[in-house]
């Protein structure tokens, strides 16, 4: 009748309903923003909920006082370490005739459900692992830098058993985040069907209500472990309520226990966290005669997927040019790794993980090294060197003496004198190599005579041999020997004495 433009008086005459009731129904109709056709399709139950509001039960003065306190109580519960038990004790101290703890919790739950109704989440065994970072950081004292380092705290909890994993990491960056996720899976000894992270950048590149974009590296990690990433919806705290609850619990059961201890490394801090974590997982659940660990072993461990044979290897990449010495620089570590000499001057891609360094050119791997973090040092594969450089790199005193002996025994003697008097073998080997190179330049015979003359002089270095050869003194040796015959003397035995 109202939608047919009949007046309120006409409607009252025809229906006989009170004017107050009519106004109320018309107001409810307008507020619903529905058309008459849409309302006409509603069931009786829906019509009753729309137009007939149930009368609220009146509460006594004691309960009314309590309900008036609930908004402030709800706000206080959001603070770290504040519990309903604590708030009830504070309430009871102020209102001595107030309700008991059971009634306090029950009425608060009823009030909370009325102002913020939510769908109860049922967690299936082996279904989801909820992960997040705690808001409060921990710290340790770094002896090397003499500074206190603040670190992030990663928290993971299985939906069904509520078995919790906690680990301190240096940052929320991908390498630390994925490493913590992996350690959590190995802590549980299996893989859930899905991992539910918050919308942090290391997990989600672009948030979306229906199809968020997963970080490529995190997606690769999930594929390696045969699981799925289901990010929590933005501004939907209930999607991650379980892990947020776990974070609040660890503030009391882990943070509080280690708050007065000074740690000197991340490993030492995590060891203490691990001990407190085991106490937490082995503590009986409220109102139950079993703990999280027992519940995990009984209902959830068998439902997890098996771990892969190999751990996931997180990799980073950068581009570098192969230097003239045949090495590329891994700038994060300030360490240098060799590449085949034929790629000198080429721009290559360097892929590195926690343990390995790979060098690629045009999608082909040209070098593989074990990752070392020694600053300003070189890791060199001899196969990467040019033939000349490889020959020099493989030089040793033994090999030098062998090469000298192939020329002549006097050359070997002279070379051994140089090696024996030198304090730095690598430099001595280079000097000897330079002397042996004269065999190709002037011939073996001249080098032999030059070494013989230098032995007579008792001077052992490269410059002496070079000067002898340049001045041709090696050629004058036989002539000088003829001119300088041994003088006759009674005290000189002569060569015949030794026959």
Residues 242 and 140 in one domain: yes
CA–CA distance, 168 with 190 (Å, rounded to integer): 21
Residue 407 shares a structural domain with residue 462: yes
Mean pLDDT, the chain, as a whole number? 81
Instruction: Please return the burial class of 405, using the count of CB atoms within 10 Å of its CB with bins 0-12, 13-18 and 19+.
Output: middle
Answer yes or no: are the C-beta atoms of 140 and 271 closer than 8 Å. no
Q: How confident is the model at residue 472 (pLDDT cuts 50, 70, 90)?
A: confident
117 falls in which pLDDT band (50, 70, 90)? very low
* Closest of 193, 198, 400 to residue 303, by C-alpha: 193
464 versus 60: which is more confidently predicted? Answer: 464
Residue 188 confidence (pLDDT): 94
Q: What's the pLDDT score for residue 350? A: 92
Instruction: Using a pLDDT cut of 70, give the percent of the chain over it.
Output: 82
Specify the pLDDT at position 492.
Answer: 58
Q: State whether 177 and 257 are in the same domain.
A: yes
Higher pLDDT, residue 44 or 183: 183
Same domain, 45 and 73: no
pLDDT tops 70 at residue 56: no
70-82 burial: b if 16+ Cβ within 10 Å, else e: eeebeeeeeeeee
Tens digit of each residue's pLDDT (9 = 90 or more) over 418-429:
888 876 666 778
Q: Are 104 and 147 in the same domain?
A: no
Neighbours of 355 (CB within 10 A): 8
pLDDT over 90 (residue 58): no
Among candidates 374, 301, 290, which has minimal Cα distance to 332? 374
Question: Are 321 and 285 within one domain?
Answer: no
Q: How many CB atoms lie within 10 A of CB 180?
A: 23
CA atoms within 13 A on the CB side of 329: 8
- Ranges 41-50, 198-207, 275-284, 467-476: which has the least confidence: 198-207
With 0-12 / 13-18 / 19 or more C-beta atoms within 10 angstroms meaning exposed / middle / buried, residue 168 is buried
Q: How many domains does the chain have?
A: 5
Check residue 497 and give its pLDDT: 56
Residue 490 belongs to some domain of the structure: no
Final residue belonging to a domain, choices 69, 88, 115: 115
**Confidence (pTM):** 0.48
Highest mean pLDDT among 274-278, 282-286, 308-312, 354-358: 274-278
Confidence of residue 479 (pLDDT cuts 50, 70, 90): very low
Do 175 and 211 sit in the same domain of this protein? Answer: yes
**Contact by Cβ (8 Å): 215, 314:** no
Q: Assess whether 26 and 167 both reside in one domain.
A: no
Tell me: pLDDT of 81 over 90.
no
Residues 285 and 188 grouped into a single domain? yes
Q: What pLDDT shows up at residue 182?
A: 92
> Given this model, what pLDDT does residue 199 score?
67
CA atoms within 13 A on the CB side of 487: 2
Q: Tell me if 456 is assigned to some domain.
A: yes
8 Å CB contact between 202 and 189: no
Per the CB < 8 A criterion, the answer to whether 435 and 462 are in contact is yes
- Three-state secondary structure of 7-32: CHHHHHHHHCCCHHHHHHHHHHHHHH
In a domain, 28, yes or no: yes
| Distance separating alpha carbons of residues 39 and 25, to the nearest angstrom | 12
Same domain, 229 and 351: no
Same structural domain for residues 88 and 184? no
Looking at the fold, whether 139 and 179 belong to one and the same domain comes out as: yes
Is 12 inside a domain boundary? yes
Q: Please check the confidence at residue 186 and state whether its pLDDT lies above 70.
A: yes
Residue 441, judged by CB atoms within 10 A of its CB (0-12, 13-18, 19+), counts as: exposed
**Predicted local confidence at residue 306, as pLDDT:** 93
Is pLDDT at 498 greater than 60 in this prediction? no
Q: Is the pLDDT of residue 162 over 80?
A: yes
**CA atoms within a 13 Å half-sphere pointing along the CA-CB vector of 100:** 1
CA dist., res. 166 & res. 189, Å (int)? 15
List all residues 6 or more positions away from 61 whose beta carbon is below 8 Å from its beta carbon: none
Full domain range(s) for residue 357: 316-385
The band of 341, judged by pLDDT with boundaries at 50, 70 and 90, is confident
Which pLDDT score, from 0 to 100, does residue 490 have? 54
Q: Within a domain: residue 378?
A: yes
Which H/E stretch holds residue 306? Answer: none
* Average confidence (pLDDT) over 204-222: 65
Q: What is the per-residue pLDDT across 257-300, written as a single tens digit (0 to 9) for each?
A: 888 899 998 899 999 999 999 999 998 876 567 788 988 888 88
Residue 279 maps to a domain: yes
Better-predicted residue by pLDDT, 415 or 205: 415
CATH number at 270 reads: 3.30.420.10
Residue 2 lies in a domain: no
> Where is pLDDT greater, at 494 or 67?
67
**Residue 239: pLDDT band by 50, 70, 90 thresholds?**
low
pLDDT digits (tens, 9 = 90+) for 119-135: 445 578 888 899 888 88
Pairing of strands 347-352, 316-321: antiparallel
């Amino acid at each position: 009748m109202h939608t047919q433009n009949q007046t309120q008086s006409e409607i009252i005459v025809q229906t006989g309903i009170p004017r107050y009731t009519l106004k109320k129904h018309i107001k409810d109709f307008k507020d619903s923003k529905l058309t008459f056709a849409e309302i006409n399709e509603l069931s009786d139950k829906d019509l009753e909920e729309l137009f007939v509001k149930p009368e609220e039960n009146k509460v006594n003065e004691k309960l009314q006082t309590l309900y008036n306190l609930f908004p402030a109580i709800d706000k206080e519960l959001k603070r770290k370490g504040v519990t309903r038990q604590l708030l009830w004790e504070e309430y009871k101290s102020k209102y001595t005739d107030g309700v008991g703890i059971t009634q306090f919790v029950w009425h608060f739950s009823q009030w909370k459900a009325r102002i913020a109704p939510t769908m109860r989440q049922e967690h299936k065994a082996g279904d989801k692992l909820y992960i997040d970072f705690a808001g409060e950081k921990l710290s340790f004292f770094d002896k090397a830098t003499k500074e206190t380092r603040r670190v992030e705290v990663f928290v993971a909890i299985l939906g069904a058993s509520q078995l919790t994993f906690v680990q301190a990491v240096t940052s929320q960056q991908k390498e630390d985040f994925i490493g913590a996720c992996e350690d959590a899976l190995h802590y549980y000894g299996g893989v859930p069907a899905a991992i539910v992270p918050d919308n942090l950048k290391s997990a989600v590149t672009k948030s979306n209500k229906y199809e968020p974009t997963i970080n490529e590296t995190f997606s690769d990690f999930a594929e390696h472990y045969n699981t799925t990433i289901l990010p929590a919806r933005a501004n939907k705290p209930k999607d991650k309520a379980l892990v947020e609850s776990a974070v609040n619990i660890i503030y009391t059961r882990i943070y509080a226990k280690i708050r007065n201890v000074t740690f000197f490394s991340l490993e030492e801090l995590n060891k203490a966290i691990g001990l407190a974590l085991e106490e937490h997982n082995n503590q009986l659940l409220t109102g139950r005669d079993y703990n999280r660990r027992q519940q995990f072993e009984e209902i959830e461990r068998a439902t997890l997927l098996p771990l892969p044979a190999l751990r996931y290897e997180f990799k980073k990449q950068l581009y570098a040019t192969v230097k003239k010495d045949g090495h590329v620089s891994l700038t994060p570590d300030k360490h240098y790794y060799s590449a085949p000499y034929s790629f000198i001057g080429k721009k290559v891609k360097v892929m590195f993980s926690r343990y390995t360094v790979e060098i690629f050119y045009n999608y082909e791997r040209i070098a593989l090294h074990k990752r070392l973090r020694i600053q300003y040092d070189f890791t060199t594969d001899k196969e990467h060197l040019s033939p000349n450089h490889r020959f020099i790199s493989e030089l040793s005193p033994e090999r030098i003496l062998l090469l000298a002996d192939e020329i002549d025994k006097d050359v070997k003697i002279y070379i051994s004198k140089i090696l024996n008097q030198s304090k730095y073998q690598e430099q001595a080997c280079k000097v000897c190599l330079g002397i042996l190179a004269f065999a190709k330049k002037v011939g073996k015979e001249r080098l032999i005579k030059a070494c013989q003359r230098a032995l007579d002089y008792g001077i052992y270095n490269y410059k002496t041999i070079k000067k002898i050869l340049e001045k041709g003194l090696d050629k004058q040796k036989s002539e000088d020997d003829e001119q300088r015959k041994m003088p006759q003397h009674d005290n000189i035995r002569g060569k015949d004495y030794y026959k």
